[in-house]
Structure 1
Amino acid sequence: MTQLIKTKYPILNRIFNGKLKCISRFSATGVLNTLVDFCVFTICESLFGIHYALSQVLGYGFGIINSFIMNKKWTFESKASNKKVYHELIQFIVVNVCSLTITVVCMKLLVNNFSINIYISKVIVTLIAQVVNFLLYKLWVFN
């Protein structure tokens, strides 16, 4: 697969393996995580009628499971020992609990105080979370 990208799609090779490899891989992983998050959120909130705050927690939870695997293996290419993996996982969970708290508080503020649509609020808080997460993953979790 990697060789196919290098020869057939050189622009993709430059994006995902060049100077901006880390940020481009994080962004691609983030898109996938966001899709997982939004799908679970929408199913919980719209289909099952679960309150948007709990739907946010559930969607975010499924997104971070994917996020840990993809960021560890692909984005930051962490090759930690089993003991270190446990340590990374704990740090990753701490970062995401903080990020989740920020998103829920901000989402409640946007929906309740500013009457912003829950999906627009979801996009706004997702962008905030991505900045926080990238910095903490790079500087603390997978360094």
Structure 2
Amino acid sequence: MVNIQIPKYFNRFLSKQSIKFVVVGVFNTIVGFLAYALYIYFIHNNYLQALVFSHVIGVANSYLWNNRWTFQQRKYNARSAVKFMSVYAVTFFVNLFLLTILVDTIEMNKLIAQAIALFLTTLVSFFGHKYWSFRTSKNL
């Protein structure tokens, strides 16, 4: 049997909480991307409207799962909810900026552009929520 030791630096990223965040993030990314694609194809072809629609769906879904399961908040906390929404406001504007460049300037396909933008916004989201929205003495 091979004994693989993970450097201590990586232990922070492989914590149970980080893995839960990734699971919720993957689920939320699928939900948000489906909402974006469905809006584009069935409601209106405007990618900016689709972004707003999918972001609202994603924020609600993400808050429910991350609040209870990932960061184990036992009751509603208005302060963390406001912080959570603030992090998502930042991710929204990062996403909007990237989509505008990728779709309007580079003329990339709207769905491919959103898939690319999701990578960066996921990183912003994780670190914003871990170290600000749901900050506890355990995750410092």
TM-score tier (shorter): 0.7 to 0.9
Distance in 2 separating the partners of 1:116 and 1:135: 28
Aligned partners of 2:103 and 2:109 also within 8 Å: yes
**Alignment partner of 2:104 out of 109, 112, 136:** 112
Give the length in aligned residue pairs. Answer: 122
Q: CA deviation at 1:50?
A: 4.1
Identity of aligned residues (%): 24
C-alpha deviations, 1:9-37, integer Å up to 9, x for none?
Answer: xxxxxxxxxx5211111111011111211
Aligned partners of 2:37 and 2:111 also within 8 Å: no
1:116 counterpart SS class = coil
Distance in 2 separating the partners of 1:46 and 1:107: 17
Q: Which residue of 2 aligns with 1:129?
A: 121
Which protein is richer in helix relative to its size? 1
Distance in 1 separating the partners of 2:119 and 2:33: 13
List structure 1 runs of 4+ shifted beyond 6 angstroms: none
- Structure 1 unpaired stretches of 5+: 1-18
Distance in 2 separating the partners of 1:135 and 1:38: 21
- Structure 2 unpaired stretches of 5+: 1-13, 136-140
Q: CA deviation at 1:109?
A: 0.4
Q: CA RMSD in A?
A: 1.3
Question: Is 2:74 the counterpart of 1:88?
Answer: no
Distance in 1 separating the partners of 2:109 and 2:58: 22
- One-letter amino acid of the structure 1 residue matched with residue 58 of structure 2: G
**Alignment partner of 2:38 out of 30, 39, 43:** 43
- One-letter amino acid of the structure 2 residue matched with residue 109 of structure 1: I
2:107 counterpart SS class = coil
Distance in 1 separating the partners of 2:44 and 2:108: 19
Q: TM-score, normalised by structure 1?
A: 0.80
